[in-house]
A and B are shown apart, each in its own frame.
Chain A
């Protein structure tokens, strides 16, 4: 039986979908939207009790956390170089980037909430928006710095699942932080997007529907 991915286009779900494409693993996508109530269906609650995506049904299990799902797929699928083994030199860095991508993901989630999902301006906090934007920029600077030695991917040894964790995050981060000062990050993102599995996953995912602007300026405070 092939895998089923419960997904919101433009969310963390893309990590799992892209990785499945990198691995050549067949998957059926069930799309949801944040605001249309589809996450509230009883059937979805049975799969993902906190009603969160991604939820991947595979091997008779349901996986919810994108980072754990990425690790699980790397460990259970063979014939790839997406994960350094436990005693490899780059193991610590690989784990570090996996989690670092999620630190970025959390910052983006906070900015999404402030910019997109709090319906009235007075519900927002300009202070929070400012802090989160600055934090996101600092965290991106860390990636820029790592890439500045000329490596193509996060690990000097080449493309890995850590890049899959990071890729979607950059697409979203760019809506809040300008990449002009990040030439290595810009080139890195272009390299990721040029991968056939990335484009194939984008087609499978469908268009995202919750961002309506390419860039969100901080409101005047």
Chain B
């Protein structure tokens, strides 16, 4: 499989980068700056018409959605063991988690927009930021409930592509929501952080990052 990943540090494309590292797959990486116009270049717009990341070229085919990419790569490369096929007893949970990852991802994208992309106070809606923060906390409590039985990863059958999809959100979430009351999520996050493949998906020293504060407080209304 010939794979090229178009990526911006700390963006959703990190899911795919992490997954590729978990596969041990060969791939070509192209890194873009999230904030400047590099994602709007003519060349890149022919790959991704909306100028967003990720996009992946797989054997000449372009895919844009990180959830679809994760699902597709996992099922096309089943030997890596990150896939749970239709005959697997945890198939349903696997699918739910892959899609749930995007529910978490949308709240994070809204918070990233509210706190970081909109750089002037008048552009923001503190009410929306407050609501999105609450919703993020709520979707994380579902993970807390799932992890409470002591499982190491989201499925009892072990680490899967769903951990990369959801795990990106869990990695990012503490910048917006405290994990203090979510001890199982916090411990799960520590386990993810200990994986060499996740470490390789993080921005290298000195790289320009999207998230520069440890915690983004909800602005006063």
How far apart are B103's CB and chain A's nearest CB, in angstroms? 7
Give Cα A99–Cα B50 distance, bound, in whole angstroms: 15
Tell whether B72 is near chain A: CB-to-CB under 8 Å. Answer: yes
Tell whether B113 is near chain A: CB-to-CB under 8 Å. Answer: yes
Contact B103 A65 (CB under 8 A): yes
Chain B positions within 8 Å of A71 at CB level: 95
Contact B64 A68 (CB under 8 A): no
Contact A68 B125 (CB under 8 A): no
Tell whether A142 is near chain B: CB-to-CB under 8 Å. Answer: yes
A120-168 contacts to B, CB under 8 A, are: 123-125, 127-128, 131, 135, 138-139, 141-142, 145
Please pick, from A50, A75, A118, A135, the residue contacting B128 in the complex, using a CB distance under 8 A: A118
Give Cα A64–Cα B93 distance, bound, in whole angstroms: 10
Q: Residue on B with the closest CB to A134?
A: B50
How far apart are B24's CB and chain A's nearest CB, in angstroms? 21
B73-110 contacts to A, CB under 8 A, are: 75-76, 85-86, 91-92, 95-96, 98-100, 102-103, 106, 109-110
Contact B113 A128 (CB under 8 A): yes
Tell whether B63 is near chain A: CB-to-CB under 8 Å. Answer: yes
Tell whether A179 is near chain B: CB-to-CB under 8 Å. Answer: no
Tell whether A32 is near chain B: CB-to-CB under 8 Å. Answer: no
Chain B positions within 8 Å of A125 at CB level: 118, 123-125, 128
Please, how many residues of chain A have a CB less than 8 angstroms from a CB on the other chain? Answer: 40
Chain A positions within 8 Å of B141 at CB level: 49-50
Give chain B's interface residue range (CB within 8 Å of chain A): 35 or more
Contact B96 A118 (CB under 8 A): no
Please pick, from B66, B96, B110, the residue contacting A64 in the complex, using a CB distance under 8 A: B96
Q: Fill in one digit per residue for B107-124: 1 if any A CB lies within 8 Å of its CB, else 0.
A: 001100110001000111
Please pick, from B91, B96, B124, B139, the residue contacting A50 in the complex, using a CB distance under 8 A: B139
Tell whether A173 is near chain B: CB-to-CB under 8 Å. Answer: no
Contact A75 B139 (CB under 8 A): no
Please pick, from B68, B103, B110, B128, the residue contacting A98 in the complex, using a CB distance under 8 A: B68
Contact A145 B139 (CB under 8 A): no
Contact A95 B72 (CB under 8 A): yes
Tell whether A80 is near chain B: CB-to-CB under 8 Å. Answer: no
Tell whether B30 is near chain A: CB-to-CB under 8 Å. Answer: no
How far apart are A87's CB and chain B's nearest CB, in angstroms? 8
Contact B118 A127 (CB under 8 A): yes
With contacts A123-B127, A138-B49 taken as known, whether A72 is within 8 angstroms of B92 at the C-beta atoms is: yes
Give Cα A50–Cα B100 distance, bound, in whole angstroms: 12
Chain B positions within 8 Å of A63 at CB level: 92, 96
Contact B127 A110 (CB under 8 A): no
Q: Residue on B with the closest CB to A141?
A: B49
Give Cα A141–Cα B63 distance, bound, in whole angstroms: 16
Q: Fill in one digit per residue for A66-106: 1 if any B CB lies within 8 Å of its CB, else 0.
A: 11100110010000000000100001100110111011001
Give Cα A74–Cα B66 distance, bound, in whole angstroms: 21
Q: Residue on B with the closest CB to A59?
A: B92
How far apart are A147's CB and chain B's nearest CB, in angstroms? 14
Contact A138 B123 (CB under 8 A): no
Q: Residue on B with the closest CB to A91?
A: B72
Contact B125 A102 (CB under 8 A): no
Chain A positions within 8 Å of B118 at CB level: 125, 127-128
Please pick, from B58, B95, B102, B128, the residue contacting A113 in the complex, using a CB distance under 8 A: B128
Contact B138 A50 (CB under 8 A): yes
Contact A99 B67 (CB under 8 A): yes
Q: Residue on A with the closest CB to B124?
A: A125
Task: Give 10 new A-B contacts, CB below 8 A, not counting A102-B99, A127-B124, A145-B49.
Answer: A49-B142, A49-B145, A67-B95, A96-B68, A106-B109, A113-B131, A125-B128, A127-B123, A128-B124, A135-B50
* 5 A–B pairs (Cβ distance < 8 Å), ordered by A: A61-B92, A65-B100, A75-B86, A99-B67, A106-B106
Contacts from B to A (Cβ < 8 Å): 49-50, 58, 61, 63-68, 71-72, 75-76, 85-86, 91-92, 95-96, 98-100, 102-103, 106, 109-110, 113-114, 118, 122-128, 131, 138-139, 141-142, 145, 221
